[in-house]
Structure 1
Amino acid sequence: MEMVMKMEIKEKTMVKPATETPRHVLWTSNLDQLVPKHIHIPTIYFYKPLSSATDDKGFFDPVKLKDALSKVLVPFYPVAGRLVDSSNPNGGRIEIDCNGEGVLFVVAQTNSMVTYFKCGGVSLGVAMNHHVVDGISAVHFLNSWSDIARGVDLKSPPFIDRTMLCARNPPKPIFDHIEYKPPLPMIKTTTSSSCESQVDVAIYKLTNEQLKTLKAKCNGDDKNKPRYTTYEILAGHVWRCVCKARKLSNDQETKLYTLVDGRSRLQPPLPPGFFGNTIFSATPIVKTGELLESNENIWYAVNQIHSTLKRIDDCYLRSALDYLELQPNLSALSRGSHTFRSPNLGIISWIRLPFYDLDFGWGRPIFVGPSTILFDGLTYLLSSPSYDEDGSLLVAIGLQHEHMKAFEKFLYDI
């Protein structure tokens, strides 16, 4: 018999900054504008119950969490604001009204926000608006919240001003930024590639031995080859597996959306603690037949990713900001369900983000991941809970129902 999870809401509170914060409308960059208005970064953290009743006293006390949250909202005050449309004849520009109205805090309990489980464990779900933060800024905020809950001083204050990401005046793009062009269409539409099809979500674990096998296939003993990163190798493998699972024809072009953090690639680098979206895109485009030419050789896919990422330097990023400045309607470039569906794919790496540092005083989480995957073809690469011990990684992916089983088979055929 299927078990139904019952959820009881215990508390809903709007938590405001503990003290007065600056009141102003915060200018947001063209990178912020690319995010659809209501898209959030959804993450979920699971914590196991403490070992004894004595230790359990005050376990995930909502009062302590709310108190720390109100304090962290003072330096991170844009999080407590509201999105507003500025007046613009070409369509409203989304900015942040830093009005201190606060963030929603929900406590719930279930028999299987902060959710308390019957077993004594807790899950903490967080949804931060993507207009306000990217993944790095979100983790910066959350880990600062947990530090304050443990009585630790703020390690790195946020840098709020985003004007360092202004376009040049006048804008002068010098590259053809295909990453912001429309996603590639299917040249042969089939019922299995229908956008109405059910999207399944799954998480797969790859051991360190499996990753080493993939690396050996790419790097080998050829000293003239570039040394590919773990991300490039795993992303290349996933790209090939998805194309196989979707049964794309050899002449079908496929576009891979990868993300690049501009914080250190821009020159001069952005200040430590820069708070906002600094995520640029790199998008290799190849024909499926070239990608899958050899079942054993994933080198071509990996090298396409490596070569594309290598070109992303300060000159390219400044050109991208200028290119976006010249677009009449940035909202038309927003990404959504149409972006990653067949024949395309998006891969986001959370491997290096310190999610497992979110310790409020009751221990580190035992699992962290996206709480949902919104679109067909959207993929996250994650550190596993045991990454520090065994080097294993996770692949979390959303695919059409009829493609998922085949993807699993190809993923483990290493």
Structure 2
Amino acid sequence: MKVKIQSSRIVKPLYDAGAPPPATEWVPLSVFDTVTYDENIAVIYAFRPPNPPTAALELGLARALASYREYAGRLGVAPDGRRSILLNDAGARFVDASVDAPLAVSVPFRPSPEVKRLHPCIDGAPVDELLQVQVTRFSCGSMVLGYASHHSVTDGQATATFLAAWGLATRRATPPPRTLPVHDRSTRFSPRDPPLVRFPHRDTEYKPAPTRVAAGDSDGDDVGAAAHDKIKVHKAHFTADFVSRLKAVSSSPPTTPRRGRGYTTFETLVAHLWRAVTAARGIAAGETTKVRISVNGRSRMRPPAPRDYFGNLVLWAFPRCDAGELVSRPLHHAAELIHRAVAGVDDGYFQSFVDFASSGAVEAEGLVPTADTNKVVLCPDMELDSWLGINFYDLDFGCGCPFYFMPSYLPMEGTLFLVPSFLGDGSIDVYVPLFENHLEEFKKICYNIA
């Protein structure tokens, strides 16, 4: 696929006529912003023709940025020494590109390094822009939108909120009041007085800073980096019927811990994936495996945070188990471990985290987030990012919603993404990156129900 870049330019916020010029200010990152992954994340949308002209998309983006100024700002260190977003309206990157071929024969709608050509580069040296978009048009009239944003600014829910707003702005529709963004990241998460730290956050969200490695020595991450080209990504498709049968198995026999209530689709499918990946890796009994599961705090905190809160509001659950026990025991055992771990990340846990992260202990002890962008290999562990409850398919620029949505190619061993299938029939796609030999074994067993 040969992608030709037509232009690359900066789009700045466009304010309504008569609106006063915005003040330039520093907005400190929240404790949730600073503990998440410090990297850009990219997603890809595909739209069938007809599609709006580039000028309409650019104008809509400028109008949306007026309400979401963080995306037009820059990350830096404020005068008070805190990492912050400078609201200076420096703008977002807009790339206009084309492919002289039809979409159907050009784009591999499967995990492939080629899809990285459909969004601005997020590898290598950091870029100033916190939001970068690329609109690629194909000879058939189809359009692909590659969207890359900095994770320190927004999580998945906030990203979807902005995308919907961009669509509304392009259609020149006025959003209802309930969809207006909430921008209070610098004041919303205050510690309690007195603080009450009830959980071991030093071992979950934070860890000691790694010691400097002497020249000539290597550590696990170096080994992972060397093996990077041996990691492959597979898209597994689980039909609604398959998931339904999995749920039935997880809820039997009658002695299941959650008999009469059953496990959710998420709990059941993650339990199945955890067991299948562990078996495919051939992890020996006696070795512990754990899963890092993102937990959205918007509905868990008390009072609940608005769904349209624009920032990060995610912590993680860490179910763990002996590898031999995980594989040998029934599916409901893994589902129960996941259920309990996720349920434990409740309002009390979120408040405890805020108290600890605001206490000064992180700075005094030199702690760093466990969300480590440099860790290439997670084996024997996994990370699970679920986008099942996020309405990414709601993006509409005026010519209809996308017919396809996918994460960019991310060969990070053990980092799985759950995405609702474009078929719209309740099926689920899972992007699974593993070492090539483990992946071949995973393909053989991932559709076995046991």
TM-score (norm 2): 0.81
Mapped pair 1:43 → 2:39: no
Out of 351, 354, 358, which is 2:391 matched to?
A: 354
Contact 2:291–2:383 at 8 Å: present in 1 too?
A: yes
Are residues 282 and 36 of structure 1, via their aligned partners in 2, closer, same or farther at CA, if it must alter by over 3 Å? closer
RMSD: 2.2
Q: Tell me, in whole angstroms, the C-alpha distance in 2 between the residues paired with 1:272 and 1:119.
A: 37
**SS of the residue aligned with 1:271?**
coil
Aligned equivalent of 1:83: 75
Q: How does 1:69-218 map to 2 (within 5 A)?
A: 69-86=61-78, 93-110=82-99, 111=101, 112=106, 113-155=134-176, 156-162=179-185, 163-169=187-193, 171-177=195-201, 178-180=203-205, 194-197=224-227, 198-218=230-250
Deviations 1:64-103 (A, max 9, x none): 0010110011111111000002467xxx642100110000
Distance 1:269 1:351 in 2: 20
**Alpha-carbon deviation of 1:291?**
0.6
Tell me, yes or no, if the aligned pair for 1:336 and 1:375 is still in contact at 8 Å: no
Instruction: Identify unmatched segments of 5+ residues in structure 2.
Output: 16-20, 107-133, 209-218
CA deviation after TM superposition for structure 1 residue 182, in Å:
5.3
CA contact (8 A) 1:179 1:257 kept: no
Shift of 1:36: 4.1
Larger mean CA deviation between 6-15 and 329-338 belongs to 329-338
CA displacement, residues 196-215 of structure 1 (integer Å, 9 cap, x when unaligned): 22221121110111111110
Give the paired residue count. 387
How far off its partner does 1:398 sit? 1.7
CA distance in 1, matches of 2:291, 2:376: 10
The answer to whether the 8 Å contact 1:21/1:74 transfers is: no
SS across alignment from 1:165: coil
Give the secondary structure class of the aligned counterpart of 2:188: helix
Q: 2:56 aligns with which of 57, 64, 79?
A: 64
1:14-413 aligned at under 5 Å gives the runs 14-19=10-15, 20-37=21-38, 39-50=39-50, 59-86=51-78, 93-110=82-99, 111=101, 112=106, 113-155=134-176, 156-162=179-185, 163-169=187-193, 171-177=195-201, 178-180=203-205, 194-197=224-227, 198-220=230-252, 222=254, 225=259, 226-294=261-329, 297-325=330-358, 326-328=361-363, 329-338=366-375, 341-387=378-424, 390-413=425-448
- Partner SS, residue 407 of structure 1: helix
Which one-letter code corresponds to 1:306 in the other structure?
A: H
**Does the 8 Å contact 1:255/1:343 carry over to 2?**
yes
* TM-score of the two chains, using structure 1 as the length reference: 0.88
Following TM superposition, by how much is the alpha carbon of 1:404 offset from its aligned partner in structure 2, in angstroms?
A: 1.2
Structure 1 residues 149, 409: closer, same or farther in 2, change over 3 A? same
Greater shift, 230-239 or 309-318, is seen at: 309-318
In 2, Cα distance between the equivalents of 1:339 and 1:169? Answer: 40
Deviation at residue 322 of structure 1 after TM alignment: 2.1
AA aligned opposite 2:352 = S
For residue 117 of structure 1, report the CA deviation from its aligned partner.
Answer: 1.7
Which letter does structure 1 place at the counterpart of 2:84? E
Q: Which amino acid aligns with 1:127?
A: A
The separation in 1 between residues aligned to 2:240 and 2:29, in whole angstroms, is 40
Kept in 1, the 8 Å contact 2:289–2:380? The answer is: yes
State the Cα distance separating 1:245 from its structure 2 match: 1.3
- Measure the CA separation in 1 of the matches of 2:98 and 2:443: 34
**CA separation of 1:260/1:332 partners in 2, compared to 1, >3 Å: closer, same or farther?**
closer
Q: Which amino acid aligns with 1:245?
A: A
Q: Which runs of 4+ in 1 moved over 6 A?
A: none
Q: Which amino acid aligns with 2:144?
A: S
